[in-house]
A and B are shown apart, each in its own frame.
Chain A
Amino acid sequence: MLSRRIIPCLDVRDGRVVKGVRFRDHAVVGDIVELALRYRDEGADELVFYDIAASPEARVVDVAWVERVARVIDIPFCVAGGIRSVADARAVLHAGADKVSVNSPALERPGLIDELAREFGVQCVVVGIDSLRDEDGEWRVRQYTGDPLRTRNVARRTLEWIEEAQRRGAGEIVLNCMGSDGVRAGYDLEQLRAARTVCRVPLVASGGAGAREHFRDAFVAADADAALAASVFHSGAIAIPALKSWLGECGIEVRR
């Protein structure tokens, strides 16, 4: 049986891992390769690296660190940030990444998803979605969230965008619920459940993990395929081996 995945997320800025709260005030957490190896050793199932500055600054992700990670890591990893074209994606995949994730550039030009899927297959095309509930109760997508000054609302409804992204060739959806991100009060189960009803490809929960129960809830209550977290892992508040043993005891299939 396919296991549920635990994915530490490493936000990268200028070649270092950083972490902010609600997408602001980024502080340096550590070296990319050191952290990648630590999480591999602890039993992380996959790693996601977001080059959070690349998209707002219209830069392509720096492939030098992608290559450094690929040389040492024997678990899969995904790279996001500033991938705007088939050529950009090819450079990142060539450097050794297993998947690419597109977010803001796919909103600018949704055809990018089709092109990536056609060229590399749907299995390595991940669409990241930053989503926030508006006052009218609708979840809508946000763009350029790596930079608070440039973050902007997009008219797209989150659930409609999830459907369109899949139609175009997304092989996986990472739903980052911005309302719960960084505050460690649990994943946004309501939004994840709504997303699950329209998402036929793997769905990755993101934003809000603070306790081991939150991971269980994402898997059991929202049927997410994977749960992504950053600060609880970086700070050591949750140790991955202990988390996985506990999830196993809860009857959830995890790789141990």
Chain B
Amino acid sequence: MSVVLVDSGGANIGSVRYALQRLGVEASLSADAATIRAADRVILPGVGAAAPAMARLRETGLVEVLRGLGQPVLGVCLGMQLLCTHSDEGDVDGLGVIDARVRRLRGGDGLRVPHMGWNRVHRVAPHPLCAGDAEAGWAYFVHAYAVPRCAATLATCEHGEVFSAAIGRANFMGVQYHPERSAALGVALLRNFLA
């Protein structure tokens, strides 16, 4: 199985790559259109802000490449948000392969933003990505923006408001939490994605 991690300029590539290694998969990091198109699985990672990440995808000519992919694609954290139509973070359009809008978490009394730490996720729609041990449990989140619950929502989490922990449409999937840092649940999710 060939897995490509899209080099979108996000710095936190190592942890995802190592998580895949622990599952016996050697992923390559690439911004090359042909390499990405040829992969069995594509992961769009990302720690950072939406606007610079989209700017980088545009500079490297990857916007159309990613939109046109037919194999399973997984966006992680910011990577998931980039799959959406628009992000309020930097008021920037995303790849638009999932019809959803990214909004800032409201926070409030006793609700800190960024939402940082372990929280419970629950699957709300049947989907192979969130099957088995990935259906419900504790996942690790670090984010200030989120996708409100919508038609593409596969799993939810709550931090003052309910938001999407996982989304999916056709071959495009995304998780707001960090599977590479979510212990047993994260391992199960990555296994499901690779299956």
How far apart sit A74 and B186, CA to CA, in the bound complex (Å)? 8
Find B142's partner among A76, A119, A223 (CB 8 Å cutoff).
A76
Determine the chain A residues whose CB is within 8 A of the CB of B31 once the complex forms. Answer: none
Find A123's partner among B11, B14, B116, B159 (CB 8 Å cutoff).
B116
Q: Does A151 contact B (CB under 8 A)?
A: no
Determine the chain B residues whose CB is within 8 A of the CB of A89 once the complex forms. Answer: 11
| Chain B contact surface mostly | mixed
B48 adjacent to A120 (CB under 8 Å): yes
How far apart sit A45 and B118, CA to CA, in the bound complex (Å)? 8
A2 adjacent to B47 (CB under 8 Å): no
B11 adjacent to A3 (CB under 8 Å): no
Count residues on chain A whose CB falls below 8 Å from chain B CBs: 41
A121 adjacent to B47 (CB under 8 Å): yes
A75 adjacent to B181 (CB under 8 Å): yes
Q: How far does the Cβ of A4 sit from chain B's closest Cβ, in whole Å?
A: 8
Determine the chain B residues whose CB is within 8 A of the CB of A188 once the complex forms. Answer: none
How far apart sit A200 and B105, CA to CA, in the bound complex (Å)? 13
Interface hits, A115-147 → B, CB 8 Å: 118-124
A202 adjacent to B178 (CB under 8 Å): no
Known contacts A98-B142, A223-B110; A172 and B116 CB within 8 A of each other: yes
Q: How far does the Cβ of A174 sit from chain B's closest Cβ, in whole Å?
A: 12
Determine the chain A residues whose CB is within 8 A of the CB of B119 once the complex forms. Answer: 1-3
A123 adjacent to B21 (CB under 8 Å): no
* Residue of chain A at shortest CB distance from B159: A2
Count residues on chain B whose CB falls below 8 Å from chain A CBs: 39
Q: How far does the Cβ of A46 sit from chain B's closest Cβ, in whole Å?
A: 8
Q: How far does the Cβ of A195 sit from chain B's closest Cβ, in whole Å?
A: 13
Determine the chain B residues whose CB is within 8 A of the CB of A172 once the complex forms. Answer: 114, 116
Find B114's partner among A72, A94, A118, A201 (CB 8 Å cutoff).
A201
Q: Does B71 contact A (CB under 8 A)?
A: no
Q: How far does the Cβ of B18 sit from chain A's closest Cβ, in whole Å?
A: 5
How far apart sit A3 and B186, CA to CA, in the bound complex (Å)? 17
How far apart sit A121 and B158, CA to CA, in the bound complex (Å)? 22
How far apart sit A201 and B119, CA to CA, in the bound complex (Å)? 16
Q: How far does the Cβ of A12 sit from chain B's closest Cβ, in whole Å?
A: 18
Q: Does B180 contact A (CB under 8 A)?
A: yes
A122 adjacent to B144 (CB under 8 Å): yes
B117 adjacent to A67 (CB under 8 Å): no
Q: Which of A74, A99, A118, A172 has the most CB of B within 10 A?
A: A74
* Residue of chain B at shortest CB distance from A77: B181
Known contacts A123-B142, A124-B12; A202 and B114 CB within 8 A of each other: yes
A96 adjacent to B114 (CB under 8 Å): no
Find A99's partner among B49, B142, B182 (CB 8 Å cutoff).
B142
Q: Does B37 contact A (CB under 8 A)?
A: no
Determine the chain A residues whose CB is within 8 A of the CB of B116 once the complex forms. Answer: 123, 171-172, 201-202, 225
* Residue of chain A at shortest CB distance from B186: A74
Q: Does A16 contact B (CB under 8 A)?
A: no
Interface hits, B163-191 → A, CB 8 Å: 178, 180-183, 186-187
Find B113's partner among A45, A124, A201 (CB 8 Å cutoff).
A201
A71 adjacent to B181 (CB under 8 Å): no
Interface hits, B93-114 → A, CB 8 Å: 107, 110, 112-114
How far apart sit A95 and B12, CA to CA, in the bound complex (Å)? 8
Q: Does B63 contact A (CB under 8 A)?
A: no
Q: How far does the Cβ of B35 sit from chain A's closest Cβ, in whole Å?
A: 20
Determine the chain B residues whose CB is within 8 A of the CB of A120 once the complex forms. Answer: 11, 47-49
A123 adjacent to B143 (CB under 8 Å): yes
A95 adjacent to B14 (CB under 8 Å): yes
How far apart sit A58 and B12, CA to CA, in the bound complex (Å)? 24
Pairs of residues from A and B, 10 with the lowest C-beta to C-beta distance, nearest first = A96-B14, A93-B11, A76-B181, A255-B118, A123-B114, A123-B142, A96-B15, A3-B118, A255-B138, A71-B18
* 17 A–B contacts, CB within 8 A, in A order: A2-B159, A3-B119, A5-B118, A46-B117, A70-B15, A93-B14, A95-B14, A96-B14, A97-B15, A98-B15, A99-B142, A120-B11, A123-B116, A202-B112, A202-B116, A225-B112, A225-B117
